[in-house]
């Protein structure tokens, strides 16, 4: 902005201020720095009514501010998610689908024993049920399930929820584990509980999954094994004793 126009802008700003407008309102029509307005308007007095209006407006803005910022952030996140979704090419190839399920199993699945994954997220569980079917030809009717829930939750209703979602028959659900309400357990509510889904006689399939994972990690496997061997002494720590149970 040309500074030669400042005298006229200053006069306009003074007129607006005398009408009781806030700095923010004035800057909508006079785009100068707030510090400049402060210098121009420091001698302009406001009436009691005008000061009361600006105070009320300021309090309202303070109360609205965090909510406005929260809503704006939600819109920003939604836009990020929307744009990211467009970066994925559909339909997913079988190889991509295989590796996505393998990565989820690597993070959330049983590392030894049963071919089983446990989680509380319905979308993740449904994806894995479909993954078992598509990759291993294991249908929901062949899956076993077990819930971890809290005493205040309805065991039968939760089993019906997960059965409807996954297609696993109710008779395939084992007895649920009811978490006791004591200091050793969190008391927060997972609305749907936590479910473990297990492929019967799936040990060899679990080994196949870890074979795929190791194939993907071949570029980093050597370094990780060398580092683990070098720091093997970290495992030489005795297990903590739970004094609360003595």
Indicate whether 210 and 147 sit together in one domain.
yes
Q: What pLDDT shows up at residue 57?
A: 78
Strand pairing partners for 195? 119, 147
Q: Shortest CA distance to 20 belongs to which of 43, 42, 53?
A: 53
Asked if the structure places residue 12 within a domain, the reply is yes
Give the whole-number percent of the chain exceeding pLDDT 70.
89
Asked if the structure places residue 155 within a domain, the reply is yes
Using the 3D structure, point to which of 29, 61, 88 is the last residue of a domain: 88
Confidence band of 190 (pLDDT split at 50, 70, 90):
confident
Indicate whether 98 and 214 sit together in one domain.
yes
Asked if the structure places residue 239 within a domain, the reply is no
Domain count, the chain: 3
Q: What pLDDT shows up at residue 121?
A: 95
* Mean local confidence (pLDDT), 93-117: 95
Give the whole-number percent of the chain exceeding pLDDT 90.
61
Contacts of 69 (CB under 8 A, 6+ apart): none
Q: What pLDDT shows up at residue 184?
A: 56
Confidence band of 185 (pLDDT split at 50, 70, 90):
low
Query: Which is more confident, 242 or 160?
Result: 160
Indicate whether 125 and 211 sit together in one domain.
yes
Three-state helix/strand/coil letters over the chain: CCHHHHHHHHHHHHHHHHCCCCHHHHHCCCCCCHHHHHHHHCCCCCCHHHHHHHHHHHHHHHHHHHHHHHHHHHHHHHHHHHHHHCCCCCCCCHHHHHHHHHHHHHHHECCCCCEEEEECCHHHHHHHHHHHHHHHCCCHHHEEEEEEECCCCCHHHHHHHHHHHHCCCHHHECCCEECCCCCCCCCCCCCCCEEEEEECCCHHHHHHHHHHHHHHCHHHHHHHHHHHHHCHHHHCCCCCCCHHHC
Asked if the structure places residue 231 within a domain, the reply is no
What confidence tens digit (pLDDT) does each residue in 128-147 have? 999 999 999 999 999 999 99
Q: What pLDDT shows up at residue 64?
A: 63
Indicate whether 137 and 194 sit together in one domain.
yes
Indicate whether 103 and 215 sit together in one domain.
yes
* Mean local confidence (pLDDT), 98-110: 96
Indicate whether 112 and 192 sit together in one domain.
yes
Indicate whether 133 and 207 sit together in one domain.
yes
List the domain range (segments joined by +) for residue 24: 1-45
Q: What pLDDT shows up at residue 233?
A: 87
Rounded to the nearest integer, the mean pLDDT of the chain is: 89
Confidence band of 78 (pLDDT split at 50, 70, 90):
very high
Please say whether the beta carbons of 142 and 199 come within 8 A.
yes
Instruction: Inform me whether the pLDDT recorded for 125 exceeds 80.
Output: yes
pTM above 0.85, yes or no: no
Indicate whether 215 and 166 sit together in one domain.
yes
Indicate whether 169 and 123 sit together in one domain.
yes
Asked if the structure places residue 32 within a domain, the reply is yes
Confidence band of 237 (pLDDT split at 50, 70, 90):
confident
Question: Would you say the C-alpha torsion 187, 190, 192, 194 has a positive or negative sign?
Answer: negative
Q: What pLDDT shows up at residue 87?
A: 94
Q: What pLDDT shows up at residue 62?
A: 65
Indicate whether 104 and 151 sit together in one domain.
yes
Instruction: Inform me whether the pLDDT recorded for 192 exceeds 60.
Output: yes
Indicate whether 100 and 202 sit together in one domain.
yes
Q: What pLDDT shows up at residue 54?
A: 86
Q: What pLDDT shows up at residue 180?
A: 83
Asked if the structure places residue 245 within a domain, the reply is no
| Packing angle, helices 6-18 and 34-41, rounded to 10 | 70
Indicate whether 144 and 209 sit together in one domain.
yes
Q: What pLDDT shows up at residue 198?
A: 97
Asked if the structure places residue 224 within a domain, the reply is no
């Amino acid at each position: 902005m040309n500074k030669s126009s400042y005298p006229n802008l200053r006069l306009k700003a003074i007129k607006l201020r005398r009408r009781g407008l806030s700095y923010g309102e004035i800057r909508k029509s006079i785009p100068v720095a707030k510090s400049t307005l402060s210098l121009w308007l420091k001698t302009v007095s406001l009436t009691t009514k005008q000061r009361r209006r600006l105070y009320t407006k300021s309090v309202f803005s303070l109360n609205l501010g965090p909510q406005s910022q929260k809503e704006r952030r939600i819109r920003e996140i939604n836009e990020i998610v929307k744009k990211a979704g467009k970066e994925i090419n559909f339909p997913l190839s079988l190889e991509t689908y295989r590796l996505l399920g393998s990565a989820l199993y690597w993070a959330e699945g049983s590392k030894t024993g049963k071919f089983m994954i446990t989680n509380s997220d319905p979308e993740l569980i449904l994806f894995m049920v479909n993954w078992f079917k598509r990759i291993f030809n294991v249908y929901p009717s062949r899956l076993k399930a077990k819930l971890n829930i809290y005493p205040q939750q309805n065991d039968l209703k939760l089993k019906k929820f997960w059965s409807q979602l996954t297609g696993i028959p109710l008779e395939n659900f084992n007895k649920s584990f009811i978490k006791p309400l004591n200091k050793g357990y969190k008391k927060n509510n997972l609305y749907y509980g936590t479910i473990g889904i297990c492929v019967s006689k799936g040990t060899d399939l679990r080994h196949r999954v870890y074979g795929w994972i190791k194939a993907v990690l071949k570029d980093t496997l050597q370094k990780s094994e060398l580092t683990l061997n070098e720091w093997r002494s970290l495992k030489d720590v005795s297990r903590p004793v739970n004094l609360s149970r003595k």
